[in-house]
Structure formats: C-alpha cells, structure tokens
Chains A and B, each alone.
Chain A
Amino acid sequence: MEVLKTEALSKIYGDGESKVTALDHADLSVEQGEFAAIVGTSGSGKSTLLHLLGGLDRPTSGKVFVENKDIFSLKDEALTIFRRRKIGFMFQSFNLVPTLNVYENIVFPIQLDGNDVDEAFVGEVIRSLGLESMQNRLPNQLSGGQQQRVAIARALATKPAIILADEPTGNLDSKTSQDVLSLLKVTGQKFSQTIVMITHNEVIAQMADRIIRIEDGHIVKGGVRNDESQ
C-alpha cells in the first residue's frame, strides 16, 4: 500500500538571475512499513524535499499525496492539523519540551489533538525504546542519545502515517548514533511504521530498506521501490 507519493514536485527560490531550482520534478513513492533513506550531499535539495513531504513548506509546482490525500489542496490551518495527526517528526536537535518529563513529552502530541492516550500502546512503545526507568525525568537530565530515543517514542505514539527524520543522529557521536538508529529500525519493524530518513551519511543510509539518491534537485536513483524485494 502506497503511503507517500510525489508527482513532479518542484521548488524554485527567487527569480531572474538569483533563481535557484532546489527541487526539479521529483517523483517518488514510499510503501506502508518501508524504511527509506533519502541521501544527498549538502545543497542537493534533500532538506527542501523533506520540508515539502512534511507540509512544512509549499511547492512551486507538483503534488504530495499522503495516504492518497493531496496535502497542498488543504488550507494552512487544515494542513497544520493534518501534519499533527499524520506526520511524526524527528530532527537532529531533539526538540523536546524542557518543562515536561519524558512521559509527558511522549504523549504531548496525542493530548494536543484532544485524544485519550492509548496507555497499552504507549507503554509498549516506551518499553521497546528502553525508557521505562526514565519516564519521570526532564529532558536536561538525559544524554543526547536518550533524548533522541524519547523523540522516537513521541513520533511513534500518535501512530502517524509517516515518520520524517531529518539527520536524526546529527548531534550524536557515532557509537550512540548506531544505537539510536538501531532502535528506530527495530521499532519501525515492530510497529510497521513507515519511516523516511534524510541523511548525508552513506553508512547511516545503509540501515534503510531502500536508498533514494538526490543530486542537484533531481532524484537520480531509488525513487520507486522494486517489488521483487517482497
């Protein structure tokens, strides 16, 4: 089942002499439960692509479909709500609320949406990420790796359509990075969570089921999954 699809997605900044085409007719699709990595060097257009996939920015032309919904047909307010319900974000700066403890941070997006917390599911997520003993701690009492584990739990807790991870281990040392990515990978497998990760790091990208390569705003490899893999 296709969860995410783009059609001729383009983003152009500026015009005239200063015109920069950050993304040029990008077509890609991601299936339910897939862990895809978008790999490119700095300036390749990968961050622009991630911002468009997550509805954080609007394209110059082209479309993004999440669960068959053309997300840019939504007005700003609806898009914000859509993002809250359907997309889980992970950034290299962990973006936890400093005054909330670990548990409160994890359930925060659920409560923001006015929903009751599915305690059994959230408990399972917390256990899978080895956070049981840290639930009452504040973010500043945790190491970087532990904070990013909380961010994974927070992203999983709302059962989003997609988790978008932007250089999720950019602020971590290589050993901690490996552990955090391992947890992202195994929890993704366990909860059949679709994950799209952006990275410039080739080694990190190898963790994914599929590598989508982007160069100079063009998707050059891996935009569509080859179904022989299943």
Chain B
Amino acid sequence: MMFTDKKLLARLDKMLEDGISGTFSESDYDETKLSQLESRWLRYLTSSKLSYQKTEQEREKLKELVSDISHQTKTPLANIMLYTELLQEQNLDVQSRHLVDEIRQQSEKLEFLIQSLVETSRLETGTFQLSPCEGDIDRVIQSAIEQITPKADSKQIQIRCIPESCTAKFDSKWTQEAIFNLLDNAVKYSPECTTITVGVKAFELFACISVADQGIGIPEQELPRVFGRFYRGQNVREQDGVGIGLYLSRQIIEGQGGYITAESNGRGAVFKIFLPK
C-alpha cells in the first residue's frame, strides 16, 4: 500500500471512526507500517472490549452477592430481634434489662445498616430503577413528615411545613425515603424543643424542597463531605448513626436528574433537594 500524507490521514481518521462505532476490521495484510498499525489498533480495541465485558461480569457478580447478603441475613436478624423481644418480656433484673435493651438497639442499627447498604448497592448497580413521573410534591413531603413525627415528638421537636402546591417529576417511594432521611438527620442533630422547617419553592424548571433545622450546624470544611458514604462529622461522633442516610439520599435524587445541597451558617443546617419539573 502506498499512501500520500492526505490519504494516510484519511485512512487513520476512518480507522478511528470505525473503532468508535465498533465496526473496525483490518483492510489488508502486508509488510507496511500501516498494516502493522492496523493490527495493533485491532488488538487494542479487542482488549478494551474484553475489559468492558469483564467489568460487566463483575457488576453482575456484585449484584448476586448483594442479593445473597440481603436474603441470607434477613431470617437470622429477624430471629435475633424476636428472641430479644421475648427476653424483654421476662422478669429481668435491672442489669439484665439494660443489657437486653442494648442488644435490641444494636440489632435495630444492624438491620437499618444492612437495609441501607443493600438499597444503595441496588441503586448503584442499577438493579433498582427509579421511575420518576409527574406528581404533587406536597403529598410526598406530608408522608415523610408523618413517618418522622413519632421520633420528633419524643424530643418535643416541632415540624413546621409551609405548604405550596408544586409539581415535579420524581419517584414518590424513593423520594419520600430521601426526604425522610433529611428529616431523620435534622431530628437527630437538633436539641429538644426546637423547630424544623420544611419548605417548597417552585422555579420554572426545578422544584426545591428545603429542610432547615436549629441544630448544631455543620462546619464549612465538612459540608462537601457530608454526602460521602459512611462520613460522620467531627461534632456528631457522640451521636448514634452510621453515615449512610445522606449518601443514599444523594443517590436517589441524582438518579432522577436532580441534586442535593447542604448549607450551614453555624446556626443549624439547611438541606435542599432540587427535582426537575
């Protein structure tokens, strides 16, 4: 094969184009540099295709593993909870009761942790598909508030909701979970007898749900990290928690074309969920 510079560049350009579209094959076999280059190009393309397939296979294996963990831990964990409850009904001395209460608390934490990890993993690997459709935001907020009210009541925390009728495209089950996680955090890190304010603001293309608390706030250098998996802030180490709720919320919201932000000016924190309309 003899090539002028222009023809050579055109052939190289075609090789690239075919490589991108996955249709590349070697044009000829001879002793020229170009023929060698074609062979090496095909080798490279094949190896990237193979490594992509390998990644896909690993992803499949991961899905299976998560499904196994979720399935196999369910029964023993439910049994631990059941026997703990039975034990709690017994006539126990103070010290034993304290120990049983501790077992129950840790079991609940383990259950929450496994459930959150399984959900996160399923969202990440695409086992669960979010199905956003147009709906009223106020309804999903009310459901999340109902869910958190008993916990808020136990700390005499008032949840104030400023209702505004506004629609957006979201998956209501998962979005409720994301909002609940924000409320759960707000209740956890707020002192007793404070107020949590939930607001809705409509923009032309997005709708914003905000959750503002009067809690301990978040230092600025920690703000970008609060959505990290298992991240726990310096000043909340004493509190119960595993650091998965905000991570999961972010996965849920970003998975449906929205985003989530955290702000704090030292007097409480404000989390905002933006959903596309």
Contact = CB atoms under 8 A, between A and B. Distances in A.
Interface of A: 130, 145, 175-176, 178-179, 182-183, 185-186, 189-190, 206-207, 209-211, 221-222, 225-226, 228-230
A178 B206 contact: yes
Contacts of B203: 175, 178-179, 182
Given A176-B204, A229-B231, A221 B221 contact: yes
Could you say which of B205, B231, B262, B276 has the most chain A C-beta atoms within 10 Å of its C-beta? B205
Contacts of A225: 224
Interface stretch (B41-49, B70-78, B150-158, B253-261): B253-261
Given A178-B206, A182-B206, A206-B262, 20 more contacts: A130-B205, A175-B203, A179-B205, A179-B206, A182-B205, A185-B274, A186-B257, A186-B259, A186-B276, A189-B254, A190-B257, A206-B263, A207-B261, A209-B224, A210-B224, A211-B223, A226-B224, A226-B225, A229-B225, A229-B231
Interface residues of B, number: 22
Contacts of A230: 228
B61 to A, nearest CB: 23
11 contacts: A175-B204, A179-B204, A182-B203, A185-B259, A185-B274, A186-B274, A211-B224, A221-B221, A228-B225, A228-B228, A228-B231
Contacts, number: 53
Interface string B17-61: 000000000000000000000000000000000000000000000
The 3 A-B pairs with the shortest beta carbon distances in the complex, nearest first, are A229-B225, A179-B205, A182-B206
A48 to B, nearest CB: 24
Nearest to A36: B224
Contacts of B225: 226, 228-229
B180 interface: no
A211 B221 CA distance: 9
A206 B261 contact: yes
Contacts of A183: 205
B85 interface: no
Interface in B213-234: 220-221, 223-225, 227-228, 231
Nearest to A180: B205
Nearest to A177: B203
Given A130-B205, A178-B206, A228-B225, A186 B231 contact: no
A211 B261 CA distance: 13
A93 B225 CA distance: 33
A221 B221 CA distance: 8
A119 to B, nearest CB: 13
Contacts of B208: 178
A221 B222 CA distance: 12
A185 B263 CA distance: 16
